[in-house]
Chains A and B, each alone.
Chain A
Amino acid sequence: MKPTDIPIRLTVNGRPYEGSVHPGLTLLRFIRETLALTGTKEGCGIGECGACVVILDGRPVNACLVLAAEADGCELRTIEGEAREGTLSPLQQAFVDQHAVQCGFCTPGMLMSARALLDREPDPSDEAIRTAMGGNICRCTGYASILGAVKTAAAHSRGGDR
């Protein structure tokens, strides 16, 4: 017997969403397939690479390990919500400026982890940055440019911008 779909209501990048989801649908597939927001990537599907990191109720989480049904009543932020009206955020611009993007596959997850960090800790230590970003793997850059970009963005955000 087919299990009943679960009704969910949440906000996605500030906008309300209402619908119902198959119980087995992960948040990752919901974001990519139901919402057609394909910025969030599937790298491993088991919570080890961080490519699918999104911000749920202010906390960065691996979307592959959350059921869409669990997001009922939550605030969801994806990479699509980072730029404002087509303008890259200072955090995104720092990634561009410091060559922290090569193939780009890890980048949305990296940005979400970094965004959540800067929202909770505007002046993070190097160690805090490494801890926050430690769940995001990159095969291309060797990480130095990514860490540099987050540091630059932190300094920038202390100057007033997000």
Chain B
Amino acid sequence: MDQFAYDKPRTMDALKARLSEADPGLAILAGGTDLLTQIRSRLRRPSLVLDLKGVPELRALEIRDGGLSIGAAVIVNRIVEEQAVTSPFAALCQAAAELASYPIRNRATVVGNVSNASPCADSVPPLCVFGARVVLDGPAGCREVPVHEFIVGNRETRLGPGEIVTRIHVPTPGPGAFSGFLKRKRVSGHDLALANAALLCDPTRGLLRLSVGSCTPRPTLLVLDHSLDRPDPDEAAAQAQTMIHPINDVRASVEYRRDMVGLMVRRLFEMLAKARECRH
């Protein structure tokens, strides 16, 4: 591959020091499942690859500050495996289980999935409905940005010069909350979503949120809180189908994507209804 230097800082301070050099040829390496394919196809030509896996605090997956904290080096499979902390975040666990393939999930990170900002990122719809925030650290200090505002377009984020996403904070849903995730693919194995969607119903916090992915350049978030007590699946499906701008590509046509979005929204509401039944 290309000529790039490689460095692996062992502390957060050392990592931030390298980032503050603001080298325009710098690429952050976490899982590498996007970066290495991009380097191989010459989409990215870094002069320095900075491996963040040497910084211990970036590997933390824990409950803190009223939510789930997913460190930048946390691999997707840990979301599936560490149910003791992740089980309240069902939609995120379901998305994690469907992302790419098992060996990819052993390297790919949730923070990387968000930062790469592909419109079909599977972690994004669940993170949006949970109201998750990216936590950034940089020359101007720490700041937090909601995931659905952090990603501004296809492979574009609001990451500033010298900044890094250190973790993602996902607020813990209230008791009795339901969340679900669905992904439509061409095959039952490793495939990108031609469309995906997540739903959160959190009665104690008054939230009914829907997010559809792989159909718009930016994340979508439909706020349906007003209909929390009497959800209208058909209305929600119609709204979702109107707000998206799907494209024709190798995976699906505009019409099929729109159709699948309607299907997934109605199925997510069926899953919600079933969960409510089980509770009573």
Please give the number of chain B residues whose Cβ is less than 8 angstroms from any Cβ of chain A in the complex: 30
Q: Which residues of B contact A2 (CB under 8 A)?
A: 3
B-contacting 9-mer, from A31-39, A58-66, A78-86? A58-66
Asked if A24 contacts B4 (CB within 8 A), the reply is: yes
Please, which residue of chain B has its CB at the minimum distance from the CB of A3? B5
Asked if B33 contacts A50 (CB within 8 A), the reply is: no
- Kindly state whether residue A100 has any CB partner on chain B within 8 Å: no
Asked if A6 contacts B6 (CB within 8 A), the reply is: yes
Contact with B along A51-91 (1 / 0, CB 8 A): 00100100111101111011010000000000000000000
- Kindly state whether residue B9 has any CB partner on chain A within 8 Å: no
What size tier do the contact residues of chain A reach?
A: 20 to 34
- Kindly state whether residue B1 has any CB partner on chain A within 8 Å: yes
Q: Which residues of A contact B102 (CB under 8 A)?
A: 60, 113, 131-135
Asked if B33 contacts A67 (CB within 8 A), the reply is: no
Contact with A along B130-147 (1 / 0, CB 8 A): 000000000000000000
Q: List 21 A-B contacts (CB under 8 A).
A: A23-B6, A23-B49, A24-B39, A25-B1, A26-B1, A47-B33, A47-B36, A50-B101, A50-B103, A53-B103, A61-B106, A65-B36, A67-B6, A67-B32, A67-B36, A69-B6, A70-B29, A131-B102, A134-B190, A135-B101, A135-B190
Chain B residues packing against A (C-beta within 8 Å): 1-6, 8, 29, 31-33, 36-37, 39-40, 49, 51, 53, 77, 97, 100-104, 106-107, 188-190
Chain A residues packing against B (C-beta within 8 Å): 2-4, 6, 23-26, 45-48, 50, 53, 56, 59-62, 64-67, 69-70, 72, 113, 131-135, 137
